[in-house]
Structure 1
Amino acid sequence: MNRKMIHTVLLVCALMPAMAQAFGNHDTWTSGWGQGVSEFVIKGKGQSQLYLACDDAGSQPATLIFTDASGHQVSIDSGKRLQVRIDGGEPVDISDSDSRVGDDLITQAWNALRTGEQVLVTGDGLRPALFTLNGAGKVLPAFNTQGCISKFAL
């Protein structure tokens, strides 16, 4: 094999795991599972996506990561502001899940994701992104079930 061919094969092999882990689409919510973690995702314009995950054993708090169109991210419990606005309603601050109020707000927002039509997500230093909630009710479990819990609940 010539050197160019070897470099090409090595590059393809190196990229395969990254491509295999990428999932989700723009039209409907999708779910996946691996190593005791249930994952839920919807993609938006550019690199934007809304990613939620729950530790099936309930030993870790739920994860929610918002990525904007430029690829910048913010997540709950990171010390940065994160808000959702479902179906044009009032913004709900889901920045912190380590308090009773934070737990209540995340429960409210998470469960509204299951019944709404669209969500606008904003975060500190990120561009807002709009996502469909098509199929969310079929894949997202209710909050405080199936390992989807807040830091406060631990």
Structure 2
Amino acid sequence: MNKSSLSALVLVCGLVPVIAQAFGNKDTWSSGWGQGVSEFVIKGKGQSQLSLTCEDYGSQPATVIFTDASGHQVSMDEDKSLQVSIDGGALIDISESGSRVGGNNLALAWAQLRKGKQVSVTGDGVKPATFTLSGATKVLPAFGTHGCVGKDVL
């Protein structure tokens, strides 16, 4: 392999991780799929992002990951607090989905994400952020479909 081909290969391989992390749109819900996992993402101010993932066959629980504007991250089912408020309503604790209550909270929050106008997210070690829910109904599948299930039903 000549030097210019090797340099081009190194450049492309170096860009792949950057491209993979660039998924999602600011203030618009988007979805993607890879290796049997569907991901639903919205980006906000700074590095803030809300990401929901579902394993297509429902053999793994759905995951909710929140990243604040500074890049600090918290996700459910990791022994940390994670809460959402839809349209200024009461906080819904989605810290875990392994118990019946946790699974019900996740299903409730997911349903409200599909119907609301905005979601505020907070948790341990992160600063709160608010995201639009405009267009979420078209992107997010109903909870319990497309492999989107809580740990409590596995």
Question: Normalising to structure 1: TM-score of the pair?
Answer: 0.91
RMSD of aligned residue pairs (Cα, Å): 2.0
Aligned mates of 1:48, 1:146 — CA distance in 2: 26
Q: State the match for 1:119 in structure 2.
A: 119
Aligned mates of 1:16, 1:61 — CA distance in 2: 27
Matched, 1:39 2:43: no
Matched, 1:18 2:18: yes
State the identity %.
67
**1:38-95 deviation digits (Å, cap 9, x = unpaired):** 1100001110000000000000000110000111111010000000010000111000
**What is the count of residue pairs matched by the alignment?**
152
Aligned mates of 1:61, 1:136 — CA distance in 2: 20
Q: State the match for 2:130 in structure 1.
A: 130
Mark the runs of 5 or more structure 2 residues left unpaired by the alignment. Answer: none
Q: State the match for 2:30 in structure 1.
A: 30
Alignment of 1:47-86 (within 5 A): 47-86=47-86
Aligned mates of 2:129, 2:55 — CA distance in 1: 26
Q: SS state of the match for residue 120, structure 2? A: strand
Matched, 1:90 2:90: yes
Question: Normalising to structure 2: TM-score of the pair?
Answer: 0.91
Aligned mates of 2:55, 2:17 — CA distance in 1: 22
Q: State the match for 2:153 in structure 1.
A: 153
Q: SS state of the match for residue 33, structure 2? A: strand
Query: 1:137 Cα shift?
Result: 0.4
Moved over 4 A (4+): none
Code of the aligned partner of 2:138: K
